[in-house]
Amino acid sequence: MWDFSISKTMGIMAKTMPFILLRMAVYFGITIAYIAATGAGAGIGFGVGQISEDPGSFTVWGGMIGFGIVSGIIYWLREYILYMVKAGHIAVMVKLIDQEPMPEGQSQVSYAQAEVKERFGQANVLFALDQIIKGIIKVITRLFGGVAFLLPIPGVSTNVGIFNSIVRMSLTYVDEIILGYSMRRGAVNPWVSSREGLVLYAQNGKRMIKNAVWLSVFVWIFSILIYIIMLAPAGALAFLMPGSVSGWGFVLAFVFAWAFKAAIMEPFAIAALMSVYFDAIEGQQPNPEWDAKLANASDKFRELAGKASDAVGGTAFQRS
């Protein structure tokens, strides 16, 4: 079974309500933007299509263009969202998991923004670090010899492909756990602390991946339920759009489910997994053998290690 406490994690979520509301504003705002852009695009396409014999096809293309424009904007805003929303929320979670009081006279959001800026500097630095960590996490999973070793349960050996897909999905939040470790360490250089955090994660890889898989299953079950629930209202919105775009109901329901997952379920998974991680590494030091193993297996880890070594004059690790 899992090692995290659902009730304790829900308590952390409740205490970070300012960030939950911020996430809801951001992600449900994105949902509204998708609806507005898709509807506007469909309307323009329907109007233009009146000069042809098939206005429906213009309507569909107009909706696709509107949807694509918003998707492009979100793609370019991904660094900002990671920097201001996700990383900030993690900074507050770290405080609460360690049962440390928040600074007086300062809101959670303002504290988190200052903490993230101090630890990571510019948004592009945090984004680049995040992408490197994602690549290294995949290598760590492979080093454990596959899903049959990680999850020794009946049926795994005959359904390796399915279970490997679940494991890959479960890695979504691990990079944010490593960012949380950097903030907890109070690191002045994120490359050094991220290297340490990844080695510690690898030392406890089996336990961490087991819990990550459980959390991934929970997140996707709830997301699918939300998708099913939102099919009716999303279909109604699509029905109100001009022309024949009823099929967009499925797309809009997916966007609603994605917004719910990003605003509610993702911080739950991060808080739970971070609690397990902090408990697992308590009293441990990064193992040089695991450091060498990761360096041999991953180009990205060697890149990270190089940046970390440069930051501390060539030493392997920098301890507080």
pLDDT in tens, 71-112: 888 877 777 787 778 889 999 999 999 998 888 888 888 888
CB-CB neighbours of 228 under 10 Å:
11
In sequence order, what DSSP letters do the residues of 232-255 get, joined into one string? HHHHHHHHHSSSS-TTHHHHHHHH
CA within 13 Å, CB half, 166: 23
pLDDT given for residue 58 in this prediction: 66
pLDDT band at 1 (very low <50, low <70, confident <90, very high): confident
pLDDT given for residue 90 in this prediction: 93
Contact predicate 69/39, CB 8 Å: no
pLDDT given for residue 156 in this prediction: 47
Contact predicate 211/167, CB 8 Å: no
pLDDT band at 272 (very low <50, low <70, confident <90, very high): very high
pLDDT in tens, 181-191: 999 988 778 88
pLDDT in tens, 196-220: 999 999 999 888 888 888 888 888 8
pLDDT given for residue 197 in this prediction: 93
pLDDT given for residue 52 in this prediction: 65
Residue 301 gets the label, from left (phi > 0), alpha (psi -120 to 50) or beta, of alpha
pLDDT given for residue 289 in this prediction: 92
Q: Give the span between the Cα atoms of 163 and 134, in whole angstroms.
A: 19
Q: Could you tell me which of 38, 102, 56 has the C-alpha nearest to residue 251?
A: 38
pLDDT given for residue 160 in this prediction: 52
SS3 of residue 118 by DSSP:
helix
The amino acid that residue 260 corresponds to is F
Residues 6+ apart with CB under 8 A from 43: 62, 241, 242
Contact predicate 195/308, CB 8 Å: yes
Convert 50-99 into a string of H (helix), E (strand) and C (coil): HHCCCHHHHHHHHHHHHHHHHHHHHHHHHHHHHHHHHHHHHHHHHHHHCC
Q: Give the span between the Cα atoms of 309 and 258, in whole angstroms.
A: 39
Contact predicate 52/58, CB 8 Å: yes
For the residues 313-319, what does the mean pLDDT come to?
A: 50
Q: Which residue has the tokens 């001009």?
A: 242
pLDDT given for residue 76 in this prediction: 78
pLDDT in tens, 24-48: 898 888 888 887 887 777 777 767 7
Question: Where is average pLDDT lowest: 82-86, 225-229, 310-314?
Answer: 310-314
Q: What is the pTM of this model?
A: 0.80
